Amino acid sequence: GNSVTQMEGPVTLSEEAFLTINCTYTATGYPSLFWYVQYPGEGLQLLLKATKADDKGSNKGFEATYRKETTSFHLEKGSVQVSDSAVYFCALLLSGGYNKLIFGAGTRLAVHP
Amino acid sequence: DAGITQSPRYKITETGRQVTLMCHQTWSHSYMFWYRQDLGHGLRLIYYSAAADITDKGEVPDGYVVSRSKTENFPLTLESATRSQTSVYFCASSGTGTVGNTIYFGEGSWLTVV
């Protein structure tokens, strides 16, 4: 079936460290891929997205590249800040599937000064 | 303000009671969704709707009922709440089209069933 697998958290980093959160997916067809971020006590916000293979989504210093050959969409940031502390969700959207998002379990990131 | 709003934001109820969580969006989006968020499970789809009067089950629909008489509203009802339904509930919406379409989320409703 269709699914998303994320690396387990929590991920704990010092400020200005490099961040990678791994995400792999299983899907029929050609899904669109998303990263959402959830700050404490809030709903989910779209962070970035990619709609086809080799697309790179980017926003607020975060990047992720849609790798069809490895079915991956890893999230990266070169220098994290304390304000990046949140839960990050990888998700896929199947084409022709009523816009239903399938989420990974989420990865909690904690950044310390 | 435009957007998607949920109410109540926080609710404590007793086992066996009926509870309705409200969701309202001002974008006239066709699609609306209800997800629940539980530790270790990410977000799981409860019900979704492609348009007014069109609803369908998601991954975990048991114990829930939805309706969509108007495009902008998509209430979720727990007919007889159980402790396993203690969760954070998120409503979401998106426009038509599927490729790369963005889904927008409300701020969540924290429900505790005691």
> DSSP string covering A47-87, please?
EEEE-STT-EEEETTEEEE-BTTTTB--EEESS--GGG-EE
Residue B42: its pLDDT value, please? 82
Residue A93: its pLDDT value, please? 87
Residue A105 to residue A100: CA distance in whole angstroms: 16
Residues A55-105: pLDDT tens digits? 999 999 999 999 999 999 999 999 999 999 999 999 998 766 666 788 999
Residue in A with minimal Cα distance to B42: A105
Name which of A32, A42, A101 is nearest B107 (Cβ-Cβ): A42
Percent of chain A whose predicted confidence (pLDDT) is above 90 = 73
**CB contact (8 A) between residue B31 and residue A99:** yes
Joined tokens for residue A34 = 């998303």
Joined tokens for residue A1 = 């079936």
Residues B54-86: pLDDT tens digits? 999 998 999 999 999 999 999 999 999 999 999
Q: Is B42 on the interface with A (CB under 8 A)?
A: yes
Q: How many CB atoms lie within 10 A of CB A1?
A: 6
Cα separation values, A87 from A40, A94, A106, B21, B43, Å: 8, 23, 6, 24, 12
Q: Give the closest-approach CA distance of A93 to chain B in angstroms.
A: 8
Q: Map residue B33 onto helix, strand or coil.
A: strand
Among B88, B103, B107, the residue to mutate for chain A (most A Cβ within 10 A): B103
Residue B76 to residue B36: CA distance in whole angstroms: 11
Q: Is B89 on the interface with A (CB under 8 A)?
A: no
Evaluate if residue B24 carries a pLDDT over 90. Answer: yes
Per DSSP (E only), the strands in chain B are: 4-7, 10-13, 19-25, 31-38, 42-51, 54-57, 64-66, 76-78, 87-94, 104-105, 109-113
**Which residues have C-beta within 8 Å of that of residue B45, sequence separation ≥ 6?**
A100, A101, B33, B34, B35, B58, B59, B60
Residue A108: its pLDDT value, please? 94
**CB contact (8 A) between residue A95 and residue B98:** yes
Residues of A in Cβ contact (< 8 Å) with B106? 43
**CB contact (8 A) between residue B31 and residue A46:** no
